[in-house]
Structure 1
Amino acid sequence: MSTESWLDEHSTELTGGLASLRAQAATVERWGHRLADKVRGGSRLLAAGNGGSAAEAQHLTGEIVGRFLGERRPFSAIPLCADSAAVTAIVNDYGVEEMFARQVEGHGRPGDVLVLLSTSGASLNVLRAAERGRHLGLDVWGLTGPAPNPLAERCHEVVAVDAPSTAAVQAVHLVAIHALCAAMDARLRVQSSYRPALEEVTA
């Protein structure tokens, strides 16, 4: 397949995937508002996925600790796929299925939010994390490919992107992450007058 043909096919897949996301806009907005309320109250966000989904989990947590649209104070968000020492130790000692679940048990507290990303919705380490998170009293949200799938069944809520390829699902997941962050910022009523703590100390 030529690059032009691939781009044409990918564009068609994205159109369908974005349409399915648009149909779930109310869920994404609800997530953003709930996440804003939770982190403002001291809860934290945990996020995990494999491969490209791991990168998107880090993208999400980076937006929460950093910022998305405007200045605001930072909030606690931990990407469970980013700590190479913890990940390799857990996999070595407990197996790949515990890679995220053990971190959920270590970092998570009742009322925290756990966002799990999986294009297939069938990754065993993500499924185990969802089960552990629910058992420990976390709110478990899933970003998946087409439903039904095992991860969707294990989450409290899910946004399932109806697209046929991993590339298209991941691309739409990134849009969903940005939409969630925009909804969170709107809930927090971002103030341009916010000044970082370091600036306040050194001013």
Structure 2
Amino acid sequence: MRKLSESIHKAFQESIRVKSEMLHHPELIAIIEEVVDLMVSTFREGHRVYFCGNGGSAADAQHLAAELSGRFYIDRKPLPAEAMHCNTSYLTAVANDYSYEEVYARLLQAMAQPGDLLLAFSTSGNSRNVIRAIETAQQIPVRVIGFTGKSGGAMKHMCDYLINVPSDDTPRIQEAHMLIGHTICQLTEQALFEYDA
């Protein structure tokens, strides 16, 4: 049986490999820069940012929304950002009365306004409720930033901006999503509140 330390090293090395590949991917870096500019302008124009995902991606969405509505590096005014799965009474009612595919789409219909922004997380790019959210966002219209894995799945051609991590391994994709998400939050906060980290 392989030593536990070998498995730990393998997991660490693969996480590092994915992040190193992103660092040497100029197209991905350029998209992240554009996303930061879009998020900054969205907040400056008085609009809101919504997040959605399932499972670990829901946790990532909630974490990043909190970085914006709470604080990141500095004490400053809160930014209007919300993860859409946090109201469990709403989530379970809509899943029961309609379908789980509609949980994010219906909330966007209720709350989102033209000019808002949706950050949609799906490691496969094929989560049906996330895809329905994107379809609804397009109708409002709300711009969409997709966070996926290597292929982009069905989301590849649906999003205004696609951040597709160069991996097919769900844990490695989610780790990279958090790195990218934290970077976007940091740069957005710096631009809006004019400080250097």
Consecutive unaligned residues of structure 2, counting only runs of 5 or more, are: none
Does 2:78 correspond to 1:77?
Answer: no
Which residue of 2 is the match for residue 87 of structure 1? Answer: 91
Report the residue type matching 2:191 in the other structure.
R
Name which of 92, 112, 118 aligns with 1:114.
118
- Cα distance, 1:188–1:87 mapped onto 2, change above 3 Å: same
Which residue of 2 is the match for residue 134 of structure 1? Answer: 138
**Higher RCO structure (Cα 8 Å, ≥6 apart):** 1
- Cα distance, 1:134–1:11 mapped onto 2, change above 3 Å: same
Distance in 1 separating the partners of 2:98 and 2:179:
34
TM-score by length of structure 1 reads: 0.88
Tell me how far 1:39 sits from its aligned partner: 1.2
Q: How high is the sequence identity, in percent, across the aligned residues?
A: 31
Superposed CA RMSD? 1.7
Tell me how far 1:89 sits from its aligned partner: 0.9
- Cα distance, 1:74–1:148 mapped onto 2, change above 3 Å: closer
Distance in 2 separating the partners of 1:170 and 1:125:
18
Which residue of 2 is the match for residue 8 of structure 1? Answer: 9
Tell me how far 1:87 sits from its aligned partner: 0.6
Instruction: Report the secondary structure of 1:90's partner residue.
Output: helix
2:35–2:161 contact (8 Å) kept in structure 1 = no
Which residue of 1 is the match for residue 39 of structure 2? Answer: 35
Tell me how far 1:5 sits from its aligned partner: 2.7
Which residue of 1 is the match for residue 18 of structure 2? Answer: 17
Deviations 1:71-101 (A, max 9, x none): 3211111111111011111101110110111
**Residues paired across the two proteins, number:** 192
Distance in 2 separating the partners of 1:136 and 1:72:
30
Which residue of 2 is the match for residue 195 of structure 1? Answer: none
Distance in 1 separating the partners of 2:130 and 2:20:
26
Distance in 2 separating the partners of 1:178 and 1:191:
16
Tell me how far 1:162 sits from its aligned partner: 1.0
TM-score by length of structure 2 reads: 0.91
Distance in 1 separating the partners of 2:168 and 2:115:
34
Report the residue type matching 1:128 in the other structure.
R
2:64–2:181 contact (8 Å) kept in structure 1 = yes
